[in-house]
Chain A
Amino acid sequence: MIPAPFSYKRASSVDEALDLAASDGDDAKYLAGGHSLLPLMKLRLAVPQTLVDIGRLDELSYVREEDGHIAVGALTKHAELADSDLLAREVPLLRHAAGQVGDPQVRHCGTIGGSLAHADPAADLPAVLLALDATLVARGPEGSREIPAGQFFRGLFETALEPGELLTEIRILKPAAPAWSFQKFTKRAIDWAIVGVALQGGKVALVNMGPTPLRATAVERALTAGAGAADAAALAADGTSPSEDLTASRRYREHLARVLVRRALEESASRA
């Protein structure tokens, strides 16, 4: 399978990337690691006219501490997140989940920003950043702006990014509560999650339980009101709208959400 023809342009700075994307309007896409975009292009489900390769913008690849929060460059690869000592210390949820994305070859290419901007509801990291209440930084021709993770995911493969806007950084406040868990249920090791759960403190986010990653608000409210793990987890499918596909029916996904949230609550309690 070969993608439909497109024109390839390589950016050597963020400003150049913005200029290159702007010159092709809505028909340009940024290419980071390419492990979400290229498969869709090979299936001709995505047919951009221009690819602006941002893969060599090393200025966007870092994990560092900045007054009270952890800043992650959007082009940081999953393998680098999974290998980060700083994340191991400060945000172990993100480090662990990044090591569960795809397989080693995918993690050597795929980037955190690419995963977020692609906004596949079955992807792992969007839900993780939702549970971490992260702030996403985007740059456009008008300058930078901050977007809370909770307002970033708008629909299936749809985000708050404007055409031409580039996700540059993810900011994560150091979690106050140490309890975390990441649960991912797949048929084969490398598959996308049928359902997944990211938990940090009292915040619970769901993978693949609707067109966007979701916070399990009913579970969170029950926990705040003092419910135990089993009672809170029973509410995991409330307010969700999972799709039906070859891997799972809606009812099966709802069942998995309840089971995985309970496991996440139990595992995180052992870390608290």
Chain B
Amino acid sequence: MKLTVTVNGSPVDAEVADRMLLVHFLRDRAGLTGTNVGCDTSSCGACTVLLDGRSVKSCTVLAAQADGREVVTVEGLASDGELHPVQRAFHAEHGLQCGFCTPGMVMAAVSLLEENPSPTEPEVRAALEGNICRCTGYHNIVRAVLAAASERQQR
């Protein structure tokens, strides 16, 4: 089928197989490899992107389902060379170890802060339940999300 997905603000047109998954569309057609394929079973969250502003696992969404809609990947967060506040906080708080889960963690955190701008620590932990860090680096990840939230509040 022919589809058009707005990815990070720009339309991407493609002719794809009906069964193509959104994550493969993003990586192989849009050329955006920041979105990782981890477990491929909607458990680990490494493939998390925003679909119309809300976090989804792109290994469990068909590209066809995103036709005509807006997707934001980790590559779409920074603007004018400036990191997004959540990216900046992950850097400052060292919210990563090997980095594989990081794009998904960042996108899940961006979605959380849209829904709940000032989460408590337990709320951050609960909101990241769909994202697995195999290095078990959760403490700094949670710290980074809380730091990003408080930076947002101050702006």
Contact = CB atoms under 8 A, between A and B. Distances in A.
Interface stretch (B16-24, B85-93, B142-150): B16-24
Interface in A62-81: 79
B71 to A, nearest CB: 13
A193 B118 CA distance: 30
Interface stretch (B5-13, B35-43, B75-83, B94-102): B35-43
A104 B130 contact: yes
B141 interface: no
Interface in A1-33: 1-8, 10, 31
Contacts of A2: 19-21, 24
Interface in B22-52: 24, 40-43, 45, 48, 51
Instruction: Give the size category of A's interface with B.
Output: 20 to 34
A105 B19 contact: no
Given A39-B41, A109-B56, A5 B18 contact: yes
A43 to B, nearest CB: 8
A145 interface: no
Interface in B108-155: 108, 111-112, 126-127, 129-131
Interface in A157-196: 189-190
B41 A103 contact: no
A51 B56 CA distance: 20
A53 interface: yes
B65 A34 contact: yes
A8 B63 CA distance: 11
Nearest to A99: B126
B1 A8 contact: yes
The 6 closest A-B pairs by CB, nearest first: A103-B130, A8-B18, A189-B129, A108-B54, A103-B129, A105-B57
Given A39-B42, A79-B54, 14 more contacts: A1-B41, A2-B24, A34-B61, A39-B60, A42-B40, A42-B41, A51-B18, A103-B131, A104-B130, A105-B56, A105-B108, A108-B54, A109-B56, A189-B126
Interface of B: 1, 17-21, 24, 40-43, 45, 48, 51, 54-57, 60-62, 64-65, 67, 108, 111-112, 126-127, 129-131
6 contacts: A5-B18, A31-B65, A53-B65, A103-B45, A105-B42, A108-B55
